[in-house]
Amino acid sequence: MRNPQLNKNGELTHLLSIEGLPKGILESILNTADSFASVGEREVKKVPLLRGKSVFNLFFENSTRTRTTFEIAAKRLSADVINLNINASSASKGESLLDTIDNLSAMQADMFVVRHAQSGAPYLIAQHLNNLGVEHIHVVNAGDGRHAHPTQGLLDMYTIRHYKKDFSNLTVAIVGDILHSRVARSDIHALTTLGVPEVRVIGPRTLLPAHIEQMGVRVFHDMAEGLKGVDVVIMLRLQSERMKGALLPSAQEFYKSYGLTPDKLARAKGDAIVMHPGPMNRGVEIDSTVADGGQAVILPQVTFGIAVRMAVMSITAGN
Amino acid sequence: MRNPQLNKNGELTHLLSIEGLPKGILESILNTADSFASVGEREVKKVPLLRGKSVFNLFFENSTRTRTTFEIAAKRLSADVINLNINASSASKGESLLDTIDNLSAMQADMFVVRHAQSGAPYLIAQHLNNLGVEHIHVVNAGDGRHAHPTQGLLDMYTIRHYKKDFSNLTVAIVGDILHSRVARSDIHALTTLGVPEVRVIGPRTLLPAHIEQMGVRVFHDMAEGLKGVDVVIMLRLQSERMKGALLPSAQEFYKSYGLTPDKLARAKGDAIVMHPGPMNRGVEIDSTVADGGQAVILPQVTFGIAVRMAVMSITAGN
Amino acid sequence: MRNPQLNKNGELTHLLSIEGLPKGILESILNTADSFASVGEREVKKVPLLRGKSVFNLFFENSTRTRTTFEIAAKRLSADVINLNINASSASKGESLLDTIDNLSAMQADMFVVRHAQSGAPYLIAQHLNNLGVEHIHVVNAGDGRHAHPTQGLLDMYTIRHYKKDFSNLTVAIVGDILHSRVARSDIHALTTLGVPEVRVIGPRTLLPAHIEQMGVRVFHDMAEGLKGVDVVIMLRLQSERMKGALLPSAQEFYKSYGLTPDKLARAKGDAIVMHPGPMNRGVEIDSTVADGGQAVILPQVTFGIAVRMAVMSITAGN
């Protein structure tokens, strides 16, 4: 079965998940993002690559921050952007997801940026378009359930490459609520594909998926041990709003064991970088001293995220 | 009394209702839409006709789908679009509708696209502007109460003309909840103005307005009979959210009597087309086999809708 | 301590409050607004001054009307506008205001237009950017708590200058709910800075701040007396939704004492102008006869407001 993200020439036509994408495609996205990184610093922050194209932000789940990054990326590519919050609209009138998509496609959309609480929704949309033989509409996953958040994964890779140059001799630790994190899944796929020799996940048993080792990672429950000698620390947001039932004793307990404090960070390499997908819970998964400290690259991640999203949009639209 | 939709030269300056518009104006909108139909297929889907104009989408009633079609149409004409959801704003501060309009006019608006739950609200606005002698602001009705939805009526006409070429020998049936449907009213006015010799309405007594025959239509309660030999079937959405009290036994009962199934459709001409304004209630007013079948032109309606709205906007703004 | 609104050359880099701005800066804003006043009347209502810049409307407090005026002003300057309603987003995820700002700054924002229910929020943001040494992001206060609404103050000055030419021999009365009004505070600072010799405030004791005389105004509790011989009457909206507890007997009582009726207005000069920031409560603080009468310049205020906001945006962005 063909990878639904690729067209018949093997080129990226949708971005649904980093899982299953070849290394070459990941690298080409990072390289293209390089060429866009300077656009944000120009006097006129615009390139005409998507001029006259219609990009639909389909947010079935509210996320102002992510929606904003895609909106900015699309506008810097000169696209027309249409924001749709679908909770309040057709969904409430009982229309099916695919009827909504068919309708928006009939409005001659060029791209759907899809955020959905259900894992697999962007796949369903892309498969539907593929089945119909529609080749001129591209789907970009902006986060689906617990499944994937590929542009976050890519911007994380861009950030790591920016600071560490080479993936082939790194040790990277991902810390916290792995279980509920689509970012963690996307990062693990990206890191292993790009050749990072050691990826670690650190968290309490209750916040780690069963059989996570099968993704090619080393599991640690003790943070001090897990951070020893790492080059990159990726902290995750504690998805408290997603947790049903009592997976955790309390935020304070979590902070004690898994919050990134200066002394825990001291176990990592001296030039280790600290990343976080935001928004941060200061004093829960990360200490303010670290969040605002010299090793944190959390704000550069945001800046690189615009360039990476511009790259994904222009590459898929061009294929 | 002058038709409030026309300026002193008899040209269309507002689009409020199809009722009372001469055939020539309807035809000129359809012809202009023809010239815009190809814009959506271009690499750069833009023409500069409304560049630098401010189009305000004033949605006093939420409708993401309709708002989106107008937003796209305006952006393809290069206008600046300002979306206003008025429930949450001044209306709640007790400001009157006309004070709101005066304020937005003072911001040098060029066009108001108005959706309102109250029949007649767009008329009130247009009359107010006409009374003030304001000639450079144009009002387009995007659906008012049960009264009218003229751009939907026009895109339905565009669709029929596209597939049937000539209105003068057609039989057209409109089926379902005629009583609550502004689309039905707009379609009936458009069809009779454009010279369709036989317009039929099909529905249960409880969902037909009293004295509907006076609009020049034939009334049927039996769907099999009503569809016999028709060229065009326009299905209506069952406006269940609008029905107060028990006008219907159940959605299942409705489907049995008035849902468009393949066997009911077989009573129509072999080349009959099936239309629906969307969003569809599959299994209520239309069977999925029909909705997705070869006679359905429901998605082309959406595509034509963009061109028709571009035509309405550019014609009114030009007059 | 340096005025946080000015850069090291003493030029306006943020607009936070009229308080503390030198007369020369106020005048240069009004003069620049003059040059933009004609843009709204052009066929193409656009100038390319902010092309490729990203203007973020950060509305922590909902205000469709004010947001719209800034959105239009930014679009007429050719900026890309991103609207953020922050209640529904990161704020609910527990992110701090300054983390939100850091994030949006990292998206290479060029301007934040900030509306916030808390007095001082725009100051906090501007100080934060100043402390970081960020010089390319500009903050414009679109209303903070009871503190200031400087663009409203400036558009009021523009309106007065338009009709009265010279500030130096005017008597201006501000009437109504002074206590809760950021507009009143901004107007008083602007009027005194621009050299208006007599500024009066008129209202019941319960709606006047303690020690208001210290702002250089004359206090009146009797409206007929306070309006005697004035050139300009600035009516305020009765902020009923803000009043906690019973500061007023009733809206009817208020109207009787402080509503602007034709006979009260007759106490002012014959050519006095009547202003109101909107939205009006007709029959509460202003009679409809006056609101729609020949002395009212309430709608021109709105039109001038666009030009003034364009001026503020282009001046701060240029410095």
Task: Tokens 């990592």: give the residue.
Answer: A268
- pLDDT value of residue B4: 94
Please tell me whether residues A158 and A209 are part of one structural domain: yes
Give the strand pairing for B232-235 and B171-175. parallel
Residues 6+ apart with CB under 8 A from B259: B283, B284, B285, B286, B287
Q: What is the pLDDT of residue A245?
A: 59
Tell me, yes or no, whether B201 lies in a domain: yes
B82 and B199 inside one domain: no
Residue C50 near residue C313, CB atoms below 8 Å: yes
From edge to edge, which strands make up the β-sheet containing A80-85? A80-85, A54-59, A111-116, A138-144
The mean per-residue pLDDT over the stretch C136-142 comes to 97
B202 and B280, same domain (yes or no): yes
Average pLDDT over residues C255-278: 97
My answer on whether C269 and C207 are in the same domain is: yes
Taking an 8 Å cut-off on Cβ atoms, the answer to whether B43 and A52 are in contact is: yes
Q: Which domain holds residue C74?
A: 23-149+303-318
Q: Which chain C residues touch A63 with a CB distance below 8 Å?
A: 89
What type of residue is A7?
N
Please give the share of chain A, as a percent, with pLDDT higher than 90.
Answer: 84
Q: CB–CB of C70/C306 below 8 Å? A: no
The model's pLDDT over C204-218, given as tens digits with 9 standing for 90+, comes to 999 999 999 999 999
Tokens 């006015």, located at residue? B189
Query: What sections of A54-96 are H helices per DSSP?
Result: 64-76
Q: Grade residue C42 by pLDDT with cuts at 50, 70 and 90.
A: confident
- How far apart, in whole angstroms, are the C-alpha atoms of residue B32 and residue B311? 5
pLDDT at C87 over 60: yes
Burial of A91 (0-12, 13-18, 19+ CB in 10 A): middle
Please report whether residue B313 resides in a domain.
Answer: yes
Q: What pLDDT is attached to residue C39?
A: 86
**Residue C40 pLDDT class (50, 70, 90 cuts):** confident
Cα–Cα dist B45/A317, whole Å: 14
Assess contact for B26 and B311: CB atoms under 8 A: no
Contact assessment for residue A76 and residue A41, using Cβ atoms and an 8 Å cutoff: no
- The 3-state DSSP class for residue C171 equals strand
> What is residue B94's predicted lDDT score, i.e. its pLDDT?
60
Q: For C145-299, where are the E strands, in sequence order? A: 171-175, 198-202, 218-220, 232-235, 273-275
Nearest CA distance, C108 vs chain A (angstrom)? 6
More confident residue, C76 or A88: C76
CB atoms within 10 A of CB A174: 26
Residue B198 has a pLDDT of: 98
Rounded CA-CA distance A72/A68 in Å is 6
Q: Which residue of A has its CA nearest to B68?
A: A82
The DSSP string of B132-177 is TT--S-EEEEEEETTTB-HHHHHHHHHHHHHHHS-STT-EEEEES-
Measured between alpha carbons, how far is residue B132 from residues A102, B8, B121, B173, C7 in Å? 43, 14, 17, 42, 46
Closest CA to B158 of B46, B32, B269, B294: B32
Is C306 within 8 Å of B107 when comparing Cβ atoms? Answer: yes
Cα first-last separation, chain B: 20
Q: What is the pLDDT of residue A196?
A: 98
Question: Is there a single domain that holds both residue B178 and residue B256?
Answer: yes
Is any Cβ of chain A less than 8 angstroms from the Cβ of B300?
yes
Same domain, C115 and C181: no
| Percent helix, percent strand, percent coil in chain C, to nearest 5 | 40, 15, 40
B302 touches chain A (CB under 8 A): yes
Element (H, E) at C71: helix C64-76
A88-93 average pLDDT score: 51
Please give the C-alpha separations between residue A140 and each of A67, A111, A128, B71, in angstroms, as whole numbers: 12, 8, 14, 22
Average pLDDT over residues C241-248: 61
Q: Is B7 exposed, middle or buried (0-12, 13-18, 19+ CB in 10 A)?
A: middle
List the 43-62 stretch of A: residues with Cβ below 8 A of B: 51-54
Same domain, A163 and A100: no
Partners of residue A303 in chain C, C-beta under 8 Å: 106-108
**What is the distance in angstroms between the Cα of C257 and the nearest Cα belonging to chain A?**
45
Q: Using CA atoms, how far apart are residues B179 and B260, in angstroms rounded to an integer?
A: 18
Quote the CA–CA distance of C319 and C316 in Å, as a whole number. Answer: 5
Q: Are residues C198 and C225 in the same domain?
A: yes
Residue B6 lies in a domain: no
Determine contact: A63 vs chain C, CB below 8 A.
Answer: yes
Cβ contacts of residue B145 below 8 Å, gap of 6+?
A: B116, B117, B118, B119, B120, B121, B182
Judgement on whether residues B113 and B170 belong to the same structural domain of the protein? no
Is C258:C204 a contact under the CB 8 Å cutoff?
A: yes
Among B279, B242, B276, B248, which residue's Cα sits nearest to residue B260?
A: B276
Flag if C299 and B106 touch (Cβ within 8 Å).
Answer: yes
**What is the average per-residue pLDDT within C275-283?**
93
Cα separation, B300 vs A258, whole angstroms? 55
The reply to whether residue B65 touches residue A89, judged by beta carbons under 8 angstroms, is yes
Residue A8 falls inside a structural domain: no
SS3 assignment, position C275: strand
Quick check: A54 and B45 CB within 8 A?
A: yes
Chain A contact for C78 (CB, 8 A cutoff) = no
Determine the average pLDDT of the residues in C53-79. 95
DSSP-derived letter for residue C12 is B
Q: Is residue C11 part of a domain?
A: no
Say how far apart CA A86 and CA A84 lie, in whole Å: 6
pLDDT value, residue C211: 93
Over residues A141-150, mean pLDDT: 94
Q: Residues of C134-166 as b/e, b for ≥16 C-beta within 10 angstroms?
A: eeebbbbbbbbbbbbbbbbbbbbbbbbbbbbee
Judged by a CB distance cut-off of 8 A, whether residue B82 touches chain A is: no
How many Å apart are CA B211 and CA B161, to the nearest integer? 28
So what's the pLDDT on residue C246?
64
Give dist(CA C245, CA C277) in Å, integer.
24
Chain C residue numbers touching A72 (CB-CB < 8 A): 54, 80, 82, 107-108
Give the Cα separation of C258 and C238 in Å (integer): 10
Give A106-123 pLDDT, tens digit per residue: 999 999 999 999 999 999
Q: Give the model's pLDDT for residue B239.
A: 74
B95 touches chain C (CB under 8 A): yes
Report how far residue A290's alpha carbon sits from residue C137's, in angstroms, rounded to the nearest whole number: 25
Tell me how close the Cα of A8 comes to any Cα of chain C, in angstroms. 35
Q: What pLDDT was estimated at residue B242?
A: 52
Pairs of residues, one from chain A and one from chain C, whose beta carbons lie less than 8 Å apart: 71
In CATH, what number is assigned to the domain containing residue C208?
3.40.50.1370
Q: Count each helix (H run) and each strand (E run) in chain C, helices first.
A: 11, 9
The amino acid occupying position A219 is: V
Assigned domain for A14 exists: no
Q: What are phi and psi of B244, to 5 degrees?
A: -105, 130
CA C260 – CA B231 distance, rounded (Å): 64
Cβ atoms of A301 and A149 closer than 8 Å: no
Residues C45 and C176 in one domain: no
Chain C CB within 8 Å of residue B198 CB: no
Helix (H) or strand (E) holding C60, with range, is none
The tally of domains found in chain B comes to 2
CB contact under 8 A, C241 and B95: no
Contact B95 C299 (CB under 8 A): no
Burial of B288 (0-12, 13-18, 19+ CB in 10 A): exposed
The verdict on residue C53 lying in a domain is yes
User: Residue A298: is its pLDDT beyond 90?
Assistant: yes
Q: C247 or B306: which carries more pLDDT confidence?
A: B306
The whole-number pLDDT of residue B245 equals 59
State whether C154 and C293 are in the same domain.
yes
Check pLDDT > 60 for residue A244: no
Nearest to A7 by CA among A25, A19, A23: A25
For position A93, what pLDDT does the model report? Answer: 57
Confidence of residue C51 (pLDDT cuts 50, 70, 90): very high
Mutate to test the interface with B, among A49, A54, A81 (most CBs of B within 10 A): A54
Q: Quick one: pLDDT at residue B163?
A: 98
DSSP assignments along chain B, one per residue = ---TTB-TTS-BS-B--STT--HHHHHHHHHHHHHHHTGGGSSS----TTTT-EEEEEESS--HHHHHHHHHHHHHTT-EEEEEE-TTTGGGGT--HHHHHHHHHHTT-SEEEEEESSTTHHHHHHHHHHHTT--S-EEEEEEETTTB-HHHHHHHHHHHHHHHS-STT-EEEEES--TT-HHHHHHHHHHHHTT-SEEEEE--GGGS-TTGGGGS-EEES-HHHHTTT-SEEEE----TTT--S-SSS-HHHHHHHHSB-HHHHTTS-TT-EEE--S---BTTTB-HHHHTSTTB-HHHHHHHHHHHHHHHHHHHHH-
Nearest CA in chain B to A86: B64
Say how far apart CA C278 and CA C120 lie, in whole Å: 23
DSSP line for B183-214: HHHHHHHHHHHTT-SEEEEE--GGGS-TTGGG
Enter the pTM of the model.
0.94
Three-state SS at A174: strand
Contact A299 C107 (CB under 8 A): no
Is the per-residue pLDDT at C243 higher than 70?
Answer: no
% of chain C exceeding 70 in pLDDT: 95
Residues of chain B falling short of pLDDT 70: 1, 88-94, 240-246
Report d(CA B193, CA B196) in Å as an integer.
Answer: 8
Q: Do C93 and A241 touch (CB under 8 A)?
A: yes
Once rounded to an integer, what is the mean pLDDT over residues A59-87? 93
Residue B87 lies in a domain: yes
d(CA B177, CA B294): 24
Are A137 and A156 within one domain?
no
Distance from the A89 Cα atom to the nearest Cα atom in chain B, whole angstroms:
6
What residues of C are in contact with residue B89 (Cβ under 8 Å)?
Answer: 62-65
Residue A239 pLDDT exceeds 80: no
Which residue, C122, C171, C91, is CA-closest to C316? C122
Q: Is the confidence at residue C25, as pLDDT, over 90? A: yes
Q: Both tokens of residue B311?
A: 């035509």
Contacts of B69 in chain A (CB under 8 A): 107
Position A9 pLDDT exceeds 80: yes
- For residue C177, give how far its alpha carbon lies from the nearest alpha carbon of chain A (Å): 36
For A80, phi then psi, to 5°, come to -85, 130
